Chains A and B, each alone.
Chain A
Amino acid sequence: MFDLLGSPLALDGYRVLELAGDTGHYAGKLLADLGADVIKIEPPGGDPSRRTPPLLQDRTDADSSLSFLYHNLNKRGVTLNLDHPDGRGVFMRLASTADALIETFPPGHLDALEIGYQSLQHRNPGLTLASITPYGQTGPRRDLPGTDLTATAMGGLMAVTGEPGRPPLRVVGDQAYHLAGCYAAYGIVLGLFERLATGTGRHVDISLQEAVAAVTPESGVSGYLFRGTKMERSGSSRRTIFPYGIFRSRDGYVSIAGITMPFWDNIAAWIAEETGDPTITDAAFRVPSSQRAEFAELLTALIEQVTTRYTMEELYQEGQRRRFPIAPVNTPGSLVEDPQLRERGFFAEVDHPAAGTLTYPGAPYAFSESPWRIRRPAPRLGEHNTEIYEGELGLSRTELAVLMASGAI
Chain B
Amino acid sequence: MKPGATGRLPLSGVRVIELSVAIAGPTAGRYLAHFGAEVIRVESRKRPDNNRQFYPAGSTVMEPDLAPGFSEFNANKLSLGLHLDDPRGIEIVRRLVQISDVMLDNFAARVLENFGLDYERLYALNPRIILARMQGQGSTGPRRDFISYGEQIQCLTAIKYLTAYEGGQPNGPGSSYPDHVSGVMAAFAVVTALLRRQKSGVGQQIDLSQAQTTAAMLGPILMDALANERSQTPVGNRDPAAAPHGVYRSAGDDRWIAIAVQTERQWQALCRVMDAPALAADSRFAALPDRLANQDALDILVEAWTAGRDPWEAMAALTSAGVPAGAVQDTPDLIYRDPHLAARGFILAGPHKRRGTITFGGVGTRLAGVKPPIHWASALLGEHTEYVLGDLLHMDPAAIADLAAAGVLDLPEWPEGGPDPALAIVP
Chain A residues within 8 Å of B, Cβ to Cβ:
1, 8, 10-14, 26, 30, 34, 52-54, 56-57, 66-67, 69-71, 117, 134-142, 144-163, 166-173, 175, 178-180, 182-187, 189-194, 196-198, 202-207, 209-211, 213-227, 230-231, 233-236, 244, 246, 253-255, 257, 320, 323-336, 338-341, 343-344, 346-347, 358-370
Say which one of B81-89, B91-99, B255-263 lies at the interface with A: B255-263
How far apart sit A369 and B207, CA to CA, in the bound complex (Å)? 11
Q: Please encode chain B, from 127 to 153, with 1 for each CB lying within 8 Å of some chain A CB and 0 for all others.
A: 000000000011011111011110111
Q: Taking the complex as formed, is B411 at the interface, i.e. its CB lies under 8 A from any CB of chain A?
A: no
Chain A residue at minimal CB-CB distance from B184: A182
B228 pairs with A57, CB closer than 8 A: yes
Say which one of B155-163, B273-281, B393-401, B402-410 lies at the interface with A: B155-163
Q: Which of A56, A187, A335 contacts B157 (CB 8 A)?
A: A335
Chain A residue at minimal CB-CB distance from B72: A220
The 25 sampled A-B contact pairs (Cβ below 8 Å) are: A145-B323, A149-B237, A153-B326, A153-B329, A154-B327, A159-B330, A169-B237, A169-B247, A170-B163, A186-B191, A204-B367, A209-B341, A211-B364, A215-B364, A223-B69, A236-B172, A327-B151, A328-B156, A329-B161, A332-B225, A336-B226, A361-B223, A362-B212, A364-B189, A366-B206
Chain B residue at minimal CB-CB distance from A203: B368
The interface size of chain B toward A, counting residues with CB under 8 Å, comes to: 157
A159 pairs with B329, CB closer than 8 A: yes
Q: Which of A26, A57, A338 contacts B156 (CB 8 A)?
A: A338
A358 pairs with B192, CB closer than 8 A: no
Chain A residue at minimal CB-CB distance from B331: A224
Chain B residue at minimal CB-CB distance from A167: B247
Chain A contacts of B54 at CB under 8 A?
Answer: 223
Q: Which of A70, A154, A202 contacts B329 (CB 8 A)?
A: A154
How far apart sit A30 and B199, CA to CA, in the bound complex (Å)? 20
B200 pairs with A220, CB closer than 8 A: no
Say which one of B38-46, B174-182, B384-392, B414-422 lies at the interface with A: B174-182
Contact status of A221 and B335, CB under 8 A, knowing A172-B163, A190-B191, A255-B155: yes
How far apart sit A222 and B193, CA to CA, in the bound complex (Å)? 33
A10 pairs with B326, CB closer than 8 A: no
Query: Could you tell me the distance in whole angstroms from the C-beta of B427 to the nearest C-beta in chain A?
Result: 6
Chain A contacts of B298 at CB under 8 A?
Answer: none
A186 pairs with B331, CB closer than 8 A: no
Contact status of A225 and B425, CB under 8 A, knowing A153-B326, A193-B11, A210-B346: yes
A344 pairs with B209, CB closer than 8 A: yes
B119 pairs with A216, CB closer than 8 A: no
| A-B pair number, CB within 8 angstroms | 509
How far apart sit A351 and B344, CA to CA, in the bound complex (Å)? 45
Q: Which of B169, B227, B323 contacts A66 (CB 8 A)?
A: B227
B11 pairs with A190, CB closer than 8 A: yes
Query: Could you tell me the distance in whole angstroms from the C-beta of A60 to the nearest C-beta in chain B?
Result: 13
- Secondary structure type dominating chain A contacts: mixed
Query: Could you tell me the distance in whole angstroms from the C-beta of B374 to the nearest C-beta in chain A?
Result: 12
A365 pairs with B206, CB closer than 8 A: yes
Q: Which of A57, A214, A226, A328 contacts B57 (CB 8 A)?
A: A226
Query: Could you tell me the distance in whole angstroms from the C-beta of A117 to the nearest C-beta in chain B?
Result: 8
How far apart sit A336 and B171, CA to CA, in the bound complex (Å)? 20
A366 pairs with B156, CB closer than 8 A: no
Q: Taking the complex as formed, is B110 at the interface, i.e. its CB lies under 8 A from any CB of chain A?
A: no
Query: Could you tell me the distance in whole angstroms from the C-beta of A30 to the nearest C-beta in chain B?
Result: 7
A156 pairs with B331, CB closer than 8 A: yes
Among B203, B208, B225: residue with most chain A CB under 10 A: B225
Q: Taking the complex as formed, is B116 at the interface, i.e. its CB lies under 8 A from any CB of chain A?
A: no
A189 pairs with B185, CB closer than 8 A: no
Q: Taking the complex as formed, is B64 at the interface, i.e. its CB lies under 8 A from any CB of chain A?
A: no
How far apart sit A12 and B197, CA to CA, in the bound complex (Å)? 12
A160 pairs with B175, CB closer than 8 A: yes
Q: Taking the complex as formed, is B328 at the interface, i.e. its CB lies under 8 A from any CB of chain A?
A: yes
Q: Which of A144, A203, A217, A364 contacts B208 (CB 8 A)?
A: A364
B330 pairs with A333, CB closer than 8 A: no
Among A166, A175, A326: residue with most chain B CB under 10 A: A175
How far apart sit A199 and B175, CA to CA, in the bound complex (Å)? 39
Q: Which of B151, B163, B207, B258 contacts A171 (CB 8 A)?
A: B163
B187 pairs with A346, CB closer than 8 A: no
Contact status of A193 and B329, CB under 8 A, knowing A70-B220, A147-B262, A211-B364: no
B364 pairs with A204, CB closer than 8 A: no
A161 pairs with B174, CB closer than 8 A: yes
How far apart sit A52 and B262, CA to CA, in the bound complex (Å)? 12
Q: Taking the complex as formed, is B248 at the interface, i.e. its CB lies under 8 A from any CB of chain A?
A: yes
Chain A contacts of B69 at CB under 8 A?
Answer: 218-220, 222-223, 226
Query: Could you tell me the distance in whole angstroms from the C-beta of A248 to the nearest C-beta in chain B?
Result: 10
A214 pairs with B163, CB closer than 8 A: no
Contact status of A186 and B158, CB under 8 A, knowing A204-B368, A367-B193: no
Contact status of A370 and B196, CB under 8 A, knowing A145-B322, A167-B249: yes
Chain B contacts of A187 at CB under 8 A?
Answer: 365-367
Q: Taking the complex as formed, is B293 at the interface, i.e. its CB lies under 8 A from any CB of chain A?
A: no
A216 pairs with B340, CB closer than 8 A: no
Among A140, A166, A167, A320: residue with most chain B CB under 10 A: A167
Query: Could you tell me the distance in whole angstroms from the C-beta of A349 to the nearest C-beta in chain B?
Result: 10
Q: Which of A57, A135, A324, A330 contacts B161 (CB 8 A)?
A: A330
The 5 residue pairs across chains A and B that have the minimum distance between CB atoms: A160-B174, A333-B231, A150-B326, A369-B204, A214-B364
Q: Please encode chain B, from 314 to 358, with 1 for each CB lying within 8 Å of some chain A CB and 0 for all others.
A: 000001001111111111111100111101101100000000001
Chain A contacts of B236 at CB under 8 A?
Answer: 167, 169-170
Contact status of A34 and B360, CB under 8 A, knowing A69-B223, A246-B169: no
How far apart sit A220 and B378, CA to CA, in the bound complex (Å)? 14
